[in-house]
Structure 1
Amino acid sequence: MGNVINSQVRLEREEVSTSENIKRSLVKTISWRAVGTITTVVISYVITGTIALAFSIGGIELVSKMVLYFFHERAWEKIKWGK
């Protein structure tokens, strides 16, 4: 009986805690941008043939898209639709 009650309490806590904290959003932002930037650098190098130019493009892309993704993620956190 105690296990059933504990399970129910745990489920209720999980249902209440549906939002992400800022640290989690930041870690997701950084990890996703790492994957995206590596891809951008490789594609830029294949197209331009210049490693310095590829890293320049990747650096600009890294910063701009990380900022945009963070704010996009936080905005979606406020939207109740689909939760």
Structure 2
Amino acid sequence: MILDQMIFNKSENKGSFEEDKKSERPIRSVVKAISWRLIGTLDTLIISYFITQKISLAASIASLEVMTKMILYFFHERVWNNVKWGK
């Protein structure tokens, strides 16, 4: 879908979300990010439980993971914000 927009709609430079009805609204992106983070953390919890066989230890690992991944993602986004490629 994004590739189609880049190739076929190249002459139609759309400047904002309101003009581009094919884009997601920012709130949708936020909800998707939260739901994906919950799925990732649940995955970590399950894997940690299978390895350790202790729910308290698995929950500790998952709690730490959710915090570190949010921090890493923040810095990842800040670095990519400075990359001019694709803008």
If the TM-score is normalised by the length of the shorter chain, which range does it land in? Answer: 0.5 to 0.7
**Aligned equivalents of 2:78, 2:33: Cα separation in 1:** 11
Please state how far the C-alpha of 1:49 moved relative to its aligned partner. 0.7
Specify the alignment match of 1:12 in structure 2: 14
**Aligned equivalents of 1:36, 1:77: Cα separation in 2:** 24
Identical counterparts, % of pairs: 52
Question: Quick check: which has more Rg, 1 or 2?
Answer: 1
Moved segments of 4+, more than 3 Å = 28-32
Please state how far the C-alpha of 1:77 moved relative to its aligned partner. 2.3
**Aligned equivalents of 2:84, 2:59: Cα separation in 1:** 39
Specify the alignment match of 2:59 in structure 1: 55
Q: Determine if contact 1:41/1:58 at 8 Å carries over to the other structure.
A: yes
RMSD (Å), alpha carbons: 2.5
Relative to total residues, which structure has the larger helix share, 1 or 2? 1
Which fold has the larger relative contact order, with Cα–Cα distance below 8 Å and residues 6 or more apart in sequence? Answer: 1
**Aligned equivalents of 2:35, 2:83: Cα separation in 1:** 23
Q: Does 1:82 align with 2:86?
A: yes
**Aligned equivalents of 2:63, 2:83: Cα separation in 1:** 31
User: Aligned pairs, how many?
Assistant: 65
Specify the alignment match of 1:18 in structure 2: none
Please state how far the C-alpha of 1:29 moved relative to its aligned partner. 4.8
Listed as ranges, the gaps of 5+ residues in structure 2 are: 1-11, 17-25
TM-score of the aligned structures, taking structure 2 as reference length: 0.59
